[in-house]
Chain A
Amino acid sequence: MSDAIIPSWEEVARLHGRTIYNFAYRLTGNAHDAHDLVQEVLLRVRRGLQAYAPTGSFEGWLWRITRNAFLDEIRRRKRRPTVPLPDGDREDSGAAPGPDEELATARLSEDVQRALLELPYDFREAVVLCDVVGLSYEEIADAAAIPVGTVRSRIHRGRRMLRGLLE
């Protein structure tokens, strides 16, 4: 039997729930879809933990479940994920009115979010997993079941496209 420590479902929710929510939020651009996705992911994690047998890293397993849940949700809904951020959702970003600098930062964040949503899904996902979630190239490759070289290419091209969109 493996000595690997398998977290409980509550620990996964507590330790990773916020990160999964941010992943979902940045991919969808809205709080409602992010909310639904986190619920779906955590339910799958709860079911999956019962039969979880560690073969790779736990994070690799978790993010495989997360991205699969996300892709399933997109297929199920058959709707464009490029929904602009409604006004009501902006409160969640914590961008409270303040000095000019804060407002400029909030505006830039909205621009970056909009630009992210314009990226092809594969590029957006790679960039978000790398720069929002903080996974290494190898962990992204594991989660997405693609070669590390493909991860490298998607991240680089995604960032270049972002730069072009935000000029």
Chain B
Amino acid sequence: MSHLGDLLGAYLDGELEAFDRARVSAHLEDCTACRIELGDVEWARSAVRNLPLIEPPPSLLGDLVGSRRRRRPMRWSRWAWAVSAVSAGALTIGLLIAPGQVNSPFDIGTLVDQHVARMVVDPGVSTIRGPVSGP
């Protein structure tokens, strides 16, 4: 059998099927030249794999990712305030219309404050998750 050539690299990388892998293993037992070549490519592979991971400058990915995200908090913030105002109004109207039907231990002012605070802290909060008003 001739020498293994690039089968050695594929053998090293686990890129051979079982049959070829067995064939290469058997050949390596008897062939010093191929064992030396395998050692060489393994050394080179380690040298490249051990190169340090280089961190990109923070400005690179930060700017690119941030360029689309920057506007979002503003939109959500306005939206959150608008939804909060509507919810607070609905709560107030509901209490004025049917004060006796609301059997809640919460103070309405605190409830609205908490809701507004949640909407501001977590813009992802939707109206569905917010407090529901009315009888």
Interface positions of A (Cβ within 8 A of B): 9-10, 13-14, 17-18, 21-22, 25-26, 31, 34-35, 38-39, 42, 92-95, 105, 108-109, 112-113, 116, 127-128, 130-132, 136-137, 152-153, 155-157, 159-160, 162-163, 166
Contacts and interface: CB of A to CB of B under 8 A. Distances in A.
Contacts, number: 106
A13 B65 contact: yes
Nearest to B42: A159
Interface of A is mostly: helix
Contact of B41 (A14, A136, A159): A159
Contacts of A21: 54, 56, 60-61
Contacts of A127: 48
Contacts of A166: 44, 47
A160 B54 contact: no
A160 B41 contact: yes
Given A131-B49, A160-B37, 13 more contacts: A13-B61, A18-B56, A22-B53, A39-B60, A93-B54, A105-B50, A109-B51, A131-B48, A152-B6, A156-B5, A156-B6, A156-B41, A162-B47
Interface in B71-127: none
Contacts of B53: 18, 22, 94
B48 A35 contact: no
B57 A31 contact: yes
Interface of B: 5-10, 13, 15, 37, 40-41, 43-45, 47-57, 60-61, 64-65, 68-69
Given A9-B68, A132-B48, A163-B43, A18 B55 contact: yes
Q: What DSSP secondary structure best describes chain B's contact surface?
A: helix
Contacts of B65: 10, 13-14
Contacts of A137: 10, 13, 15
B61 A157 contact: no
A39 B64 contact: yes
B9 A10 contact: no
Nearest to A109: B51
